[in-house]
């Protein structure tokens, strides 16, 4: 399709041709992380800018078009660095649930992705001053432990071939046992993950979808079998792995399509080794959906969702049916106390 699309490899290691233009805040260029990233992009044109927001937040952009060939922006993040987890996200029973965004936007292009409703741009921003984030976390850890999701607004492993951020996080997690990290991914970045130390406080949360759903809605993402290879490699190395069936999309023949997925997982993954699993139906804040409807008319955005307290999702009956189905299949693989659902169901 174009250099960008061809360059996002399944394991996230090939970016040489992806970003022909790199905008860099002048302040960012003095950080070693910026230098390392630029060294990995020989031939790119670097355009100095004063403030990434002038580019990223400018009005009347088409994030959908930009995602086909995004520019890369290197910037210095300003505080706050930690945000409380949103109500639509699962907390897995963790009391101090926060997330942080050292990268904004993702190389993949899922039609249901909330980032399209959240950000005005499809360009990818990488913040290079991670030490400032680590300093804030260190301060918080003096008061209480922290469950921190570091790959919500991007796919960190998919971009690791460019950034090397996973090893920075791993080093920091190793030195701070009261920090529990979640790294969410749809990538197949086996080599990036395998290169890291094995840590009990670093969870790799791999999202899986049925192949027909992936092909229709999750553009550029690695296949189910490639993602399961990452899962199985990480499990064999003794890592903490979470399998996420979230978001489940209400497709025709839902039980057949998702039944195949659960069967494949059951037959190919040693599920007893998983830390836990999650399942959730598609849900999104009303504001984000409104933006997506005007910028990306498609099957996902056209669906007549139900608005419950500012969050759009399928109606209660459909949600119950989808989650009950998922729970019954998951209970064949893993004890119920390790199954987390996006909504509580009556015990079954
Ligand atoms: S992988 Fe996640 S963050 Fe990336 S486009 Fe898809 S839904 Fe969005």
Which architecture does CATH list for 76-120+128-341? Alpha-Beta Horseshoe (3.80)
C-alpha span between 16 and 224 (Å, rounded)? 25
The alpha carbon of 113 and the centre of ligand 1 are apart by a number of angstroms equal to: 5
Q: Which atom of ligand 1 is nearest to the CA of 152?
A: 3
Q: How would you class 65 by CB atoms within 10 Å of its CB: exposed for 0-12, middle for 13-18, buried for 19 or more?
A: exposed
Q: Which atom of ligand 1 is nearest to the CA of 114?
A: 8
Residues with CB under 6 A from ligand 1: 106, 108-110, 113, 115, 155, 186
The alpha carbon of 119 and the centre of ligand 1 are apart by a number of angstroms equal to: 13
The per-residue DSSP string of 64-79 comes to HHHTTSPPEEEE-PPS
pTM attached to this predicted model? 0.94
pLDDT number for residue 15: 59
Q: Any idea how long the chain is?
A: 348
Would you tell me how many other CB atoms lie within 10 Å of the CB of residue 100?
23
CA 339 to chain centre: 20
- Tens of pLDDT along the chain (348 residues) come to 344 544 555 444 455 557 888 999 999 999 999 999 999 998 889 999 999 999 999 988 988 888 888 899 999 999 999 999 988 888 998 989 999 999 999 999 999 999 999 999 999 999 999 999 999 999 999 999 999 999 999 999 999 999 999 999 999 999 999 999 999 999 999 999 999 999 999 999 999 999 999 999 999 999 999 999 999 999 999 999 999 999 999 999 999 999 999 999 999 999 999 999 999 999 999 999 999 999 999 999 999 999 999 999 999 999 999 999 999 999 999 999 999 999 888 765
The per-residue DSSP string of 12-41 comes to S---TTT-SEEEEETTGGGSHHHHHHHHTS
The alpha carbon of 106 and the centre of ligand 1 are apart by a number of angstroms equal to: 6
Residue 105's nearest CA partner among 61, 139, 152, 69 is: 152
> Which two tokens mark 267?
């037959």
> Which two tokens mark 62?
């088409």
Mutation probe of ligand 1 site: the residue of 64, 86, 88, 106 with most atoms within 8 A of C-beta:
106
Q: What is the DSSP letter of 80?
A: P
């Amino acid at each position: 399709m174009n250099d960008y699309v061809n360059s996002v490899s399944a394991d996230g290691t090939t970016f040489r041709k992806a970003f022909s233009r790199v905008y860099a805040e002048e302040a960012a260029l003095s950080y070693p992380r910026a230098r390392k990233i630029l060294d990995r992009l020989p031939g790119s044109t670097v355009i100095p800018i004063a403030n990434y927001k002038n580019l990223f937040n400018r009005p009347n952009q088409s994030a959908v078009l930009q995602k086909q060939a995004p520019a890369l922006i290197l910037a210095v993040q300003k505080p706050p660095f930690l945000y409380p987890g949103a109500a639509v996200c699962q907390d897995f029973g963790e009391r101090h649930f926060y997330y942080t965004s050292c990268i904004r936007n993702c190389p993949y292009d899922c039609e249901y992705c909330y980032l399209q409703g959240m950000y005005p741009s499809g360009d990818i921003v990488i913040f290079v001053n991670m030490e400032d984030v680590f300093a804030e976390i260190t301060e918080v850890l003096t008061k209480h432990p922290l469950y921190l999701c570091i790959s919500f607004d991007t796919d960190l492993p998919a971009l690791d071939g460019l950034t090397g951020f996973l090893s920075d996080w791993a080093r920091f997690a190793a030195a701070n046992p009261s920090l529990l990290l979640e790294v969410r991914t749809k990538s197949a970045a086996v080599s990036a993950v395998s290169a890291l130390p094995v840590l009990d406080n670093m969870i790799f949360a791999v999202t899986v979808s049925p192949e027909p759903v992936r092909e229709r809605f999750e553009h550029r993402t690695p296949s189910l079998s490639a993602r399961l290879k990452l899962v199985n490699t990480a499990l064999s190395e003794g890592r903490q792995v979470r399998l996420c069936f979230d978001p489940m999309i209400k497709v025709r023949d839902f039980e057949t399509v998702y039944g195949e997925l659960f069967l494949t997982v059951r037959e190919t993954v040693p599920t007893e080794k998983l830390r836990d699993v999650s399942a959730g139906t598609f849900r999104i804040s009303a504001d984000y959906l409104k933006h997506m409807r005007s910028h990306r008319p498609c099957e996902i955005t056209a669906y007549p969702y139900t608005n419950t307290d500012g969050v759009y999702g399928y109606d209660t009956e459909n949600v119950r049916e989808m989650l009950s189905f998922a729970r019954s299949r998951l209970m064949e693989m893993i004890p119920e106390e390790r199954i987390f659902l996006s909504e509580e169901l009556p015990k079954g």
